Amino acid sequence: MVKTYDVVIIGGGPAGYVAAIRCAQLGLETACVEKWINFKGDPALGGTCLNVGCIPSKALLESSEHYHYLKEGFGNHGIQVEGITLDLDKMMVRKEDIVLQLTNGVSTLFKANGVEWLQGHGKLLAGRQVEITHQDGSVDVVNADHVIIATGSMPIEIGAAPVNNAEGIIVDSTGALDFRQVPKTLGVIGAGVIGLELGSVWNRLGAKVIMLEAVDDFLALADQQIAREALRQFKKQGLDIRLGARVMATEKIAEGVKVHFKDKEGEHEIVVEKLLVSVGRRPNTDNVAAPGSDLLFGERGFIHVGDDCETNLPGVYAIGDVVRGPMLAHKGSEEGIMVAEIIAGQHGHLNYDAIPWVIYTHPEIAWVGKTEQALKTEGIPYKIGTFPFSANGRAKAMDTAIGMVKILAHAETDTLLGCHIIGPYASELIQEAVLAIEFQASSEDLARTIHGHPTLYEAVHEAALSVHGRSLHKINT
């Protein structure tokens, strides 16, 4: 007898597992098919984010920042520290412990909410059936009134630099989260989010990092005023970022890898001990739907969905990295909640204009809403307010008075259109602007909101005041 569920979710990453919990909360009989095998050889929930993405990278960013600050930053506070040593093994064990605690936590949440975890590879068949191939090769089929595909994404590979994480010389992000020694030199292909975060980790731990970025614009998705400041800060930290550099070939040699690349000055080669390939991610749709299911795929292999994440097949939804939109954990989770609520007959909704972006470098970079260049392209009239952290008391006290807050508001209605931050705890500060955009607030609303003193948030307040030329702690121009 084939079992029927109200909802079967394929994929247990932040999109799929959150959808599963919300479905169960809403009283739907829910199963989640997940095949991940973790570094200990055990089945695990949590997907890329918890196992080899957001969480382990932030664990290493935190540890490496402490190490670096101990060496370079404490002196300014009048604290002399000697005899600093690095125990990389311990740093890695700490990272692994965090991953295990959080992935086991999802499994506990499944049990508590009554979500059934079907371990194995899931495939959509015709008629909303899902086939599950277990690790031992056995196969089951279940029926579902609704199916949610949340199979995530995987690193894009380039022919010029074939990745082999097991060998550990040319690696993707998973390999670069697991080096057992600090490389003397690390090459990075692609100066995007992963390249910058993991490049920062190894730079802080002592590697010489050279980043080869194909396009001429640095952080093309970010507001370009912020991106310019970021490039200046990263170069000061010793990250050797080369823009407009196209990798043509790599060769493995005794010292590591010889990388041949081309820029507008001609052809060059560098030798690095390890090479990270971080040129983007692609939707993971390998063997996810049987041809007979008639599931429609769109541009660049993403599963085609409408605004409500429903595919061309009624009752079949897709969420997270496997569909259009930014590849961010919180975007996938919110799509999961939206779809669960729609399935339960509620009015699920997601405001795609209020999704925050964060890059966890030092200083951090975060934004929400439109960039200045997008407003120009779209012909939307705007006003700008900026405020530098160098004039913020708390940032000074913390000895991290670098960067700025930039606010963009509609020139006629004053509605907040975007907020862009480079500076201390930008990841946390941005949330005030996300809330303001969600509430369709104006820059005046932000300016009239009382901000505690002394806090970093005062820089957001001052940037809002500056939209109307009435910043109090900088000279208005």
Q: What residues line the site for ligand NAD (CB under 6 A)?
A: 158, 189-195, 197, 212-215, 246-247, 278-281, 326-328, 358-360
10 is in the binding site of which of ligand FAD, ligand NAD, none (Cβ under 5 to 8 A by kind)?
ligand FAD
Q: How far is CA 277 from CA 52, 137, 192, 212, in A?
A: 15, 33, 11, 10
Q: How far is the CB of 31 from ligand NAD (least distance, A)?
A: 28
Nearer to ligand FAD (CB atom), residue 49 or residue 338: 49
List the single partner that 233 binds among ligand NAD, ligand FAD, none, CB under 5 to 8 Å by kind: none
Nearer to ligand NAD, 203 or 293 (CB): 203
Residue nearer to ligand NAD on the CB measure, 155 or 385: 155
Q: Give me 256's structure tokens.
A: 């590591």
Q: Tell me, what amino acid is at 196?
A: L
Q: How many residues does the chain have?
A: 477
52 phi, psi to nearest 5 deg = -140, 25
Report the alpha-carbon distance of residue 250 to residue 260 in Å, rounded: 6
Chosen from ligand NAD, ligand FAD, none, partner binding at 122 (C-beta under 5 to 8 Å by type) = ligand FAD
| Pairwise CA distance, residues 280 & 332, whole Å | 17
- The answer to whether the CB of 419 falls within 8 A of the CB of 367 is yes
| The one-letter amino acid at 416 | L
Beta partners for residue 367, in sequence order: 357, 420
Least distance from ligand FAD to the Cβ atom of residue 48, Å: 3
- What sign results for the dihedral spanned by CA atoms 66, 71, 72, 78? positive
Residue 365 interacts, among ligand NAD, ligand FAD, none and using kind-specific CB cut-offs from 5 to 8 Å, with none
Question: Would you give the distance in Å from CA 449 to the centre of its chain?
Answer: 30
Q: Count of CB atoms within 10 A of residue 339's CB?
A: 28
Closest separation in Å from C-beta 189 to ligand NAD: 5
> Is-contact 445 436, C-beta < 8 A?
yes
Phi, psi of 253 (to 5 degrees): -130, 175
Binding-site partner at residue 35 among ligand NAD, ligand FAD, none, CB < 5 to 8 Å by type = ligand FAD
Instruction: Say how far apart CA 243 and CA 409 lie, in whole Å.
Output: 31
CA distance 191 to 199: 9
Report the nearest approach of ligand NAD to the CB of residue 29 (Å): 33
Catalytic residue among 77, 134, 349, 453: 453
- The listed partner (ligand FAD, ligand NAD, none) that binds 150, CB under 5 to 8 Å by sort, is ligand FAD
Residues making contact with ligand FAD (CB under 6 A) = 10-16, 33-36, 47-49, 53-54, 57, 121-122, 150-153, 173, 194, 284, 288, 320-321, 327-330, 332
Q: Closer to ligand NAD by CB, 20 or 198: give it.
A: 198
CB of 413 to ligand FAD, least distance (A): 30
Q: At 466, which amino acid appears?
A: S
**Tokens linked to 410:** 């509609």
Nearer to ligand NAD, 115 or 322 (CB): 322
Between 310 and 462, CB nearer to ligand FAD? 310
In 3D, which of 21, 39, 41, 46 has the Cα closest to residue 31? 21
Question: Based on CB atoms, which residue is closest to ligand NAD, 207 or 212?
Answer: 212
Smallest gap from Cβ 410 to ligand FAD, in A, equals 28
Which tokens in the block code for residue 344?
């339960």
Beta bridge partners of 143: 4, 129
**Among candidates 19, 290, 40, 318, which has minimal Cα distance to 152?**
318
Structure tokens at 285: 């749709």
Residues contacting 225, CB < 8 A, separation 6+: 372, 406, 420
Nearer to ligand NAD, 197 or 273 (CB): 197
359: partner contacted, choices ligand NAD, ligand FAD, none (Cβ within 5-8 A by kind): ligand NAD
Of ligand NAD, ligand FAD, none, which one sits near residue 229, judging by CB under 5 to 8 A according to partner kind? Answer: none
Contacts of 13 (CB under 8 A, 6+ apart): 46, 47, 48, 49, 50, 150, 152, 320, 321, 329, 332
Closest approach of ligand NAD to the CB of residue 245, in Å: 7
d(CA 336, CA 318): 9
453 noted as active-site residue: yes
Q: Any bridge partners for residue 465, and if so which?
A: none
- For the bound state, the minimum distance from the C-beta of residue 338 to ligand NAD, rounded and expressed in Å, comes to 19
Q: Which residues are catalytic?
A: 453
